[in-house]
Amino acid sequence: MNRSRIIRVRDVMDERFLEIDGLRTVKEALETIKAGGAAVPIIVRKRNENDEFGIVLLADIAKKVLARDRSPERVNVYEIMSKPVISIPPDMNVRYCARLFEQFGLSVAPVIEGGKILGMVGYQGLVLDGLLELYS
């Protein structure tokens, strides 16, 4: 066990994510996810250089569309997104990332460097990759 060893977020992030325009419908977003074969977070693109990224999780769709009996063909992604996103720098220590997740109730966050999304980090990567690597 080497507690001084540092595992960075970039080492455990998942480079798969879906980036779409906020004007797309929830149905279009779900069809794109399904075609890709994985339930990945949806990043909502910035509208311009002064805008911020948004994020939609499957939980948001379940709570804000399915549970409220709204039609996915009539709901735009921007209506249910969280914005701005809390982002993680790629060089952050996974221990601090886990603390940040706990403090703000996050389960997943984009890894952003220089205004560009590099990937996504979530508990799966933090625990299965980061924790196992840290204590091996």
pLDDT of residue 121: 96
**Residue 119, SS3 per DSSP:** strand
Dist. CA 81–CA 8, nearest whole Å: 28
Q: Quick check: 26 pLDDT over 80?
A: yes
Over residues 81-103, mean pLDDT: 96
Q: Mean pLDDT throughout 73-83?
A: 97
| pLDDT confidence of residue 1 | 45
Q: What is the pLDDT of residue 13?
A: 95
Residues 6+ apart with CB under 8 A from 133: 7, 11, 12
Secondary structure (3-state) at 75: coil
- Residues 42, 61: contact at Cβ < 8 Å? no
